[in-house]
């Protein structure tokens, strides 16, 4: 068993340590990169009831995974739970309101990481795809997890015909993912966590240039790659959901709201209504996390009423 760990042993939040010499925030890569396969050739076979997703309802990267889980109809195949909304010293934590259903005595997500690697001293991030059978983390990279959910569980998915990464669109999806990730998904964080005016201004300009680019694309077609919903749309959508309630004010991404982009707003609303995806959006949890966790940005922890 992994014992509870004292606060002094635990890592600091990422925004305190991932800043370069220019004052720009630089996200570090994830660590656990194993793969689930339909046939089990990877050592992790796609099976109902075997895997669990640890997420935060606040995190857009974690939100990708339960969005794809819902779209593919994997709710009865892969269980999930959320950590507490507060991210402070010690990292993501479990509480009475948000416990670890697999390990009721655990108080920090770090303890799940230490089950896999007792010497692990890296970042503690969500999402985490956990193998209940082997008692180890399979993967903590959201972009890889959503692709596993898209293809490897089709034999037991309720919606196996949905392909969010079709062969004929992969090059286009990859190209869109690259700039959407750099300038929008991560771009809002680069704005919010900048420690210099220069870094903030660069991130701000790149963010709104790319949002304008998305708006132009959606003025001509329903989705980012055409008339089919793909993972590129999912990856953008989870950021857009948080933009007006949080990023505009908290991260100073305030040139324009998503509500002022008519095509993006329609895109956001359409996906929100798909397959009961609205049940994956927890706005109060999202707001509590950002406005009360990032005390270097919002020192009094006041959460906006609107």
Active-site residues: which are they?
59, 189
Contact 44, 36 (CB under 8 A): yes
Contact 227, 221 (CB under 8 A): yes
* Neighbour tally for 171: CB within 10 Å: 10
Contact 267, 218 (CB under 8 A): yes
Secondary structure (DSSP) of 133-188: TTTEEEE--HHHHHHHHHHTTGGG-S-TT--SS-GGGHHHHHHHHHHHIIIIITHH
For residue 120, give the nearest of 10, 1, 25 by alpha carbon: 10
Contact 150, 135 (CB under 8 A): no
Q: Which pair of structure tokens corresponds to residue 158?
A: 């309720």
3-state secondary structure of 11: coil
Contact 212, 179 (CB under 8 A): no
CA atoms within 13 A on the CB side of 252: 16
Angstrom distance (rounded) from CA 127 to CA 269: 24
What's the per-residue H, E or C state across 246-264? HHHHHCCCCCCCHHHCHHH
For residue 110, give the nearest of 64, 62, 54, 59 by alpha carbon: 54
């Amino acid at each position: 068993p992994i014992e509870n760990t004292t606060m002094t042993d635990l890592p600091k939040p990422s925004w305190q340590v991932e800043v370069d010499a220019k004052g720009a925030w630089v996200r570090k890569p994830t660590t656990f990169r194993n793969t689930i396969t339909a046939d089990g050739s990877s050592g992790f076979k796609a099976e109902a009831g075997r895997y669990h997703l640890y997420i935060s309802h606040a995190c857009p990267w974690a939100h990708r995974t339960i969005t794809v889980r819902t779209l593919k109809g994997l709710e009865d195949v892969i269980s999930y739970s959320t950590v507490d909304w507060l991210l402070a010293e010690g990292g993501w934590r479990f509480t009475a309101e948000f416990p670890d259903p697999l390990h009721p005595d655990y108080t920090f997500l770090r303890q799940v990481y230490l089950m896999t690697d007792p010497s692990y001293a890296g970042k503690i991030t969500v999402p985490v795809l956990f193998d209940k059978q082997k008692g180890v983390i399979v993967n903590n990279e959201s972009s890889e997890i959503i692709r596993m959910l898209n293809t490897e569980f089709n034999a037991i998915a309720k919606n196996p015909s949905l392909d969010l990464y079709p062969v004929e669109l992969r090059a286009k999806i990859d190209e869109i993912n690259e700039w959407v990730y750099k300038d929008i998904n991560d771009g809002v964080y680069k704005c919010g966590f900048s420690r210099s005016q220069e870094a903030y201004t660069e991130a701000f300009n790149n963010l709104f240039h790319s949002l304008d680019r998305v708006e132009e694309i959606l003025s001509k077609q329903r989705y980012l790659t055409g008339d089919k919903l793909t993972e590129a749309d999912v990856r953008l959508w989870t950021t857009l959901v948080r933009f007006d309630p949080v990023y505009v004010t908290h991260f100073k991404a305030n040139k324009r709201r998503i509500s002022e982009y008519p095509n993006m707003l329609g895109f956001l609303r359409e996906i929100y209504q798909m397959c009961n995806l609205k049940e994956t959006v927890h706005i109060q949890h999202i707001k509590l996390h950002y406005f009360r966790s990032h005390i270097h940005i919002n020192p009094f922890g006041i959460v906006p009423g609107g």
